[in-house]
Structure 1
């Protein structure tokens, strides 16, 4: 397309004025010089030759970097651009003179984006299909070109589809226009007023700082706005006078920004400004009066390049095919995917943004759940497991041996498990239970069902302490049932290890308890029918899978004493059946929990002394083993020495931490169990598995450094007997957030509620530990804020799978599912 003479003149005039004023990136009525040139070169004329087209696009990219250039670089760029435009103008005139038709003015490069219409039209209104496909390189988009696509490539954005799905990390809502009197600190807003006074001057305290002041007023009040410019180039009198000239008294100005309060009253922080023709005039800015997207960036990639590129490719969203049937969209109140993509970038208002985000969050959850459920159905179709007998002499005798009545919750979960075991479909069930809820008894009944059916079972725990605890309990029960059970850990002697291996292979050993040692290649079961994994979130995906591979599709029962919020369980374990033991055995007393500061430490010591005098024992837990120079925290080693010598010299004080050998750990734990030591100083190695009913005090140093769920686990080490127990949370933090977090433990003993609050405070990744959690990365979705949408997405996925688990009835949905798993999750669901 040809560029009309006024455009040639306008561009050349802008370049000439910039040169005359010393290459200072002048501020015009609406744009800076560099912004005006970027927009002017934003759309490549069609009539240009290939080499001219490439140079046009390169010029646009250079002006995007103009503010960062040196004076010499700016001089060269302006001079080169003036020569380039002159040659283009001569070439156009020559071709026009030879009879080539000049396109209409409507085809000329666009500089302004009118405020009266959205930056991006809803895709339902697109009437022409763009020529490019979504999988073509961004460099082929005229408004982007080779140079700009290079910047976008630094962000991993290579194709049109990549850029469409590059969601903003945040939005700043400047769309809300208010009167000056209605501004409130902490909100973002846009105001329109008349200039009452304008000033621009060098700071008397700092010669390199220029201050721009603007006093705006409307019918309801007035406000003083400031902008600050650092650098000697802004101290030139000419630059300052030009800024004052732009805003003479009476000029109508639109201003957007974050409302803040200072000693002079309310103001806008670093306001975006634009001069208007009149109070109802058009706002041309990309930011003022709009909901502005904020994109994740990296060094050297300007925000405006990304925003302008998104504007250029958004019309191509019309090519996105809708995978969700209209009935599903209608039932769950979802807008179309094309509209959602368009409006997640440049929405007209906050309501439009909310509708776009809801659809895209639904999609993230929906395809994750769809993959989980499809995987579960495939497992049922293709894998068969041993059918185990849920009743028999072993189970009956075990019930008779129990000195207590099972709770209703335990009976319900046992029923779930035994029903699963009667099916040839491999059981894949997660049992969640709070500390002391009786998960071990539930696991034993499942193990006995496997043994009485002629199969072997394995129980794997993450630490030697916990594995030994399980072994000790099981030996007591299994001896009465005349069944052998062995323990295999890293500390097991070579002779004993060989004996265990031989008994496993012959089938003499029906149950093996152990740590990661169970997954070693030398461990071979004759007929493994059931795998029990305790504290399963402590194991990696491959570790759990290797144990399952020791048998022919064995049933799998996983357990955790760390209650997981429902949303997190659906995201992590969407392909598992989940049972909850949400009831504690009768007679358990609530543990008195108190948050104490350092000044109240003596109160804690006095409580410990009173309990010890009555024959009880206490834990003191610390986060570190040895003193750290970087962190001012009490270490287990140093604290053990201090407590032994200075605070409790009359008591025996033990020490337990993860760097001790297994023999040393056993010695320390046995001494504590036998009440030979009254106090044990420990790290979190005692978080799970240690069962000493006589211990009644849990004192946790630097409690603010632990997660709530971990603190709840530690608290569960006491309260296991008939005596009143206490948990003392020593906090060195004075922040309100730390106090609120720890206050949750004072208020509640419900592990599920505590885990929910933990996720709200710290986020799901921190709660689980990101390294082995298998938590999917979501671009938009939040497990804290979007719980309702997750439940709807799960419901929709279940209905789809019931109708057709192969998804052959919905080819676009199947294609989208395959694309998402290959692109975002490496083709595997991490559970």
Structure 2
């Protein structure tokens, strides 16, 4: 066991990733230092490659795209909501990228329903009106359909031709779409990996929009890399990316965060209750009778049959379908499409509830055995509801005759007390750090993060990037040289001022991590 004085808190780093299968090293042994040294070299190589790629892109010529005067303002005016500050900042960043004369490679990161699609719509409008073709690539047919409907509505009456390419499009029609893209007759195409086939040729592709790139397979990612070479690229993701990582990579990967919710969005009312058939029946029927739909989420596939029997017996008034990740992809997509088309009232599923889906009519969520989920998972699931101006409800059920573990009880209390608009995104980015980093840096980095934990990995990455940029070990030197100043009095945050021990430790940690004046000012 090793004890550490609170003033040396900066020497500790939070592991952060999934703790299953973690191998601990013996105190005093050399294995940990050897592991760190090996990883440091791998991170340096990766940072070097990131910087080289960014520098090479800077040298490539790109199309300069300018919004058409008057027409662009009219197109923006079709947006039925008031833009949030983050949205406007992201749109401004894209406009600036378009006018640099270099290929754009920007990642827009924001929660589902926070307005990423609007950034894509305006970008597509500018590119298409400038005579360039636009391709929007999404991971599922349902998402392709959803985007096609959104784009179709916004581009109505404009002299631009839109098309869709996915499994839902008839073969003959798909061939016509391919011919139209090659001839330049189609301005904007929205599709799944069907667009990534070698047979698909564009006459003059100017903008590629990629939605949730991490959901594509390795082969498709390689094809996307080829397509990205000399064109403007806009990537959208709902996986939170910590601000610290964003700062470490600024100038290497252009990144815009949309963290403010739409102005008229209501927070999701969250209730925690022991499993009670009467309460669940009332919850589902209330949503059913107000014309809405519900999600019913279980932690394991083995729970689905039991819950299906419960729904048939206790809530016969609602129609439901069950879905899980081991189904054939086509069957799963058909069920999701049926839910989107309101063919049934309740979607009974495991956690595969598609993160990118925007189902405005689904405003009630029931989670079975909520004590078995992590905090970030619960937050992500709760984000499936509350997409419209209607108040949404989340019911988190726990076993009726069993005492919860202290940590499970705390998780549920935190979620219940958290206003899901804004604060939740910060919370999730803390727990989803691994996925967020994999998304930014490539999936192979997730393995490296597992070796030493997220915080230490991030520090090592910041050091590597700073060293490669300046040629000096600036951050590293700052981290290792830590003077001790004894002022002869105890300097502590009083318990009466900050009651929660974890919050107090978090504040000590933040103070310990400050290395410069901007850090102190921030």
Asked whether 1:469 is paired with 2:163, we answer no
Verify the 8 A CA contact 2:142 2:337 in the aligned structure 1.
Answer: no
Q: Distance in 2 between matches of 1:570 and 1:741?
A: 29
Shift of 1:482: 4.4
Question: What pairs up with 1:553-632 in 2 under 5 angstroms?
Answer: 553-566=230-243, 575-597=252-274, 599-600=275-276, 602-623=278-299
Asked whether 1:440 is paired with 2:108, we answer no
Task: Report how far residue 788 of structure 1 moved.
Answer: 4.9
Structure 1 stretch 700-709 or stretch 484-493: which is displaced more? 700-709
CA distance in structure 1 between the partners assigned to 2:219 and 2:388 by the alignment: 38
Q: Which runs of 5+ in 2 are unaligned?
A: 1-22, 473-522
Aligned to 2:93, which of 410, 416, 424? Answer: 416
1:467–1:515 contact (8 Å) kept in structure 2:
yes
Post-superposition Cα deviations, 1:373-398, rounded to whole Å, max 9, x if no partner, equal: 232112222x2222222344542221
Q: List aligned pairs for 1:717-756, cutoff 5 A.
A: 717-731=384-398, 734-748=404-418, 749=420, 750-756=423-429
Q: CA deviation at 1:671?
A: 4.3
In structure 1, distance between residues paired with 2:112 and 2:199: 34
Shift of 1:434: 1.6
Deviations 1:724-774 (A, max 9, x none): 211223356944444444444334323432233324xxx726995999723
Q: Is the 8 A contact 1:572 1:774 kept in 2?
A: no
Equivalent residue of 1:729, what SS? strand
Match of 1:387 among 49, 56, 64: 64
Equivalent of residue 170 in structure 1, options 25, 33, 41? 25
> Secondary structure, in 3 states, of the residue corresponding to 2:359?
coil
Deviation track 1:307-353 (CA, whole Å, cap 9, x = no partner) reads xxxxxxxxxxxxxxxxxxxxxxxxxxxxxxxxxxxxx47xxxxxxxx
Describe the SS at the equivalent of 2:92.
Answer: helix
RMSD across aligned positions (CA): 3.6
For residues 711 and 573 of structure 1, what CA distance do their matches in structure 2 show?
A: 30
**Aligned residue pairs, count:** 440
Shift of 1:436: 1.6
1:204 corresponds to which residue?
A: none
Q: Does residue 758 of structure 1 match 2:431?
A: yes
1:416 CA displacement: 0.5
In 1, Cα distance between the equivalents of 2:157 and 2:80? Answer: 13
Contact 2:112 2:358 in 1 (8 A): no
Tell me whether 1:665 sits opposite 2:335 in the alignment. yes
Equivalent residue for 2:360? Answer: 693
Find the counterpart in structure 1 of residue 185 from structure 2: 508
Equivalent position of 1:485 in the other structure? 162
Cα distance between partner residues in 1 of 2:434 and 2:317:
44
Residue matched to 1:782: 453
- 1:461 and 1:467 in contact (8 A); partners too: yes
Between the aligned partners of 2:320 and 2:389, the Cα distance in structure 1 is: 24
Q: Which residue of 2 aligns with 1:538?
A: 215
Q: Could you say which residue in structure 2 is the equivalent of 1:634?
A: 303
Match of 2:469 in 1: 798
- Taking a change above 3 Å as real, the CA distance of residues 753 and 490 of structure 1, as seen in their structure-2 partners, is same
| Consecutive unaligned residues in structure 1, runs of 5 or more | 1-167, 173-291, 297-343, 346-355, 626-632, 802-831
> 1:538·1:772 contact (CA, 8 Å) conserved in 2?
no
Q: 1:711 to 1:384 in 2, by over 3 A?
A: farther
Q: Using the alignment, how far apart are the partners of 1:648 and 1:592 within structure 2? A: 22
Question: Which whole-Å deviations, capped at 9, do the CAs of 1:543-593 have from their partners, x for residues lacking one?
Answer: 234135347611111111121224555789983111111211111111122
The CA deviation at 1:611 is: 3.4
Q: Is the 8 A contact 2:107 2:256 kept in 1?
A: yes
**Alignment of structure 1 residues 254-333 onto 2, 5 Å:** 292-293=28-29, 295=31
Alpha-carbon distance change, 540 to 671 in structure 1, aligned in 2, over 3 angstroms: closer
Q: Matched residue of 1:479: which SS?
A: coil
* Compared CA separation, residues 738 and 662, structure 1 to 2 (3 A): closer
Distance 1:571 1:792, change over 3 A: closer
Q: What is residue 21 of structure 1 aligned with on the other side? A: none
Rounded to whole Å, the distance in 2 between the matches of 1:679 and 1:444 is: 31
Q: Which moved more, 1:463-472 or 1:542-551?
A: 542-551
Change in 2 beyond 3 A, CA 1:766/1:586: closer
Instruction: Determine helix, strand or coil for the equivalent of 1:432.
Output: strand
- 2:454 aligned counterpart, secondary structure: coil
Alignment CA distance shift 1:295-1:360 (3 Å): closer
Secondary structure at the residue paired with 2:387?
A: coil
Secondary structure of 2:164's aligned partner: strand
CA distance in 1, matches of 2:349, 2:166: 21
Displacement of 1:429 after TM fit?
0.8
Name the CA distance, whole Å, in 2 between partners of 1:667 and 1:427.
Answer: 33
Residues 707 and 767 of structure 1 are in contact (CA less than 8 Å); yes or no, is this contact kept in structure 2?
A: no
Whether the 8 Å contact between 1:687 and 1:710 is mirrored in structure 2 is no
**Structure 1 CA distance for aligned equivalents of residues 49 and 91 of structure 2:** 28
Kindly provide the CA deviation profile for residues 621-677 of structure 1, in whole angstroms up to 9, marking residues without a partner as x.
Answer: 23555xxxxxxx412x6534541x2111123334555545388437622542xxx63
Q: 1:700 to 1:367 in 2, by over 3 A?
A: same
Which is further off, 440-449 or 398-407? 398-407
Normalised by the length of structure 2, the TM-score is 0.73
Give the one of 191, 210, 224 matched to 1:547: 224
Whether the 8 Å contact between 1:488 and 1:512 is mirrored in structure 2 is: yes
**Deviation, structure 1 residue 787:** 4.6
User: Within 2, Cα distance between the matches of 1:517 and 1:622?
Assistant: 32
Query: Matched residue of 2:288: which SS?
Result: helix
**Rg (Cα) greater in structure:** 1
Q: Measure the CA separation in 1 of the matches of 2:251 and 2:307.
A: 44
Measured against aligned partners, the alpha-carbon deviations of 1:589-625 in whole angstroms (never above 9, x if no partner) come to: 111223444x345433322333333444322123555
CA distance, structure 2, for counterparts of residue 596 and residue 775 of structure 1: 39
In structure 2, C-alpha distance between the alignment counterparts of 1:387 and 1:771, rounded to whole Å: 27
Query: Which deviates the most, 509-518 or 564-573?
Result: 564-573
Match of 2:8 in 1: none
Distance 1:366 1:667, change over 3 A: closer
1:719 is displaced (CA, Å) by: 1.1
**Correspondences of 1:341-420 after superposition (within 5 Å):** 344=33, 365=43, 368-381=46-59, 383-420=60-97
Tell me, in whole angstroms, the C-alpha distance in 2 between the residues paired with 1:614 and 1:396.
Answer: 37
- Tell whether the 8 Å contact from 2:141 to 2:333 is kept in structure 1 after alignment: no
1:398–1:481 CA contact under 8 A, matched in 2: no
Q: What SS does the corresponding residue of 1:661 show, helix, strand or coil? A: helix
Q: Tell me the CA shift for residue 445 of structure 1.
A: 0.7
Conserved? CA contact 2:438–2:446, under 8 Å: no
For the structure 1 residues 666 and 679, does the alpha-carbon distance in structure 2 shift closer, same or farther, using more than 3 Å as the test? closer
CA distance in structure 2 between the aligned counterparts of 1:362 and 1:743, rounded to whole angstroms: 39
Equivalents in 2 of 1:572, 1:593: separation in Å?
Answer: 36
- Give the alignment partner of residue 455 of structure 1, picking from 112, 122, 132: 132
